[in-house]
Amino acid sequence: MSILGSIIGPATQLLDKVIEDKDEKNRIAFELSTLAERHANELAKGQLEVNKVEAAHKSLFVAGWRPSIGWCCSLGLLYHVLIAPIAGIWVEVPEIDPSLLMTTMTGMLGLGAMRSYEKTRGVSREK
């Protein structure tokens, strides 16, 4: 929970003691409750702008970090699902915990689904 969110709850409870008009109290309570959401939306918009600038960068070290994480997850999943079980027939292979890979992969695939949606709507840079 953000600092802003932790302040909003007690501030809303104080409205009962300070403001007598029920309509005014409800309006202010609504404004306070949506304040944290608006703040989070503004932060997300700012992050999207940073992501756009990063993705358009010519340097592989700036624009290529997301694809590199995707390839690492793909290789880790390939090892866990295909290589380790087959190689395990002949030699002892180290066991890896795929939970971190799966969490990262599913997050990236969720973003990939949004990218596919953009492509079908014709709003992506590449067709």
Q: What is the pLDDT of residue 126?
A: 59
Residues 114 and 68 in one domain: yes
Q: What is the pLDDT of residue 35?
A: 79
pTM over 0.95, yes/no: no
Residues 83 and 117 in one domain: yes
Residues 69 and 124 in one domain: yes
pLDDT band of 69, cuts 50, 70, 90: confident
DSSP character for 64? S
| Other CB atoms within 10 A of residue 109 CB | 12
Tally of domains within the chain: 2
Q: Where are the alpha helices (DSSP H) in the chain?
A: 3-18, 22-56, 60-63, 65-78, 84-87, 99-121
42-46, 51-55, 81-85: least confidently modelled range: 51-55
Residues 68 and 126 in one domain: yes
Q: Which domain holds residue 93?
A: 64-127
Distances (CA, A) of 85 to 78, 102, 126: 10, 18, 38
Residues 5 and 38 in one domain: yes
Cα distance between residue 9 and residue 87, in whole Å:
56
Cα distance between residue 71 and residue 32, in whole Å:
43
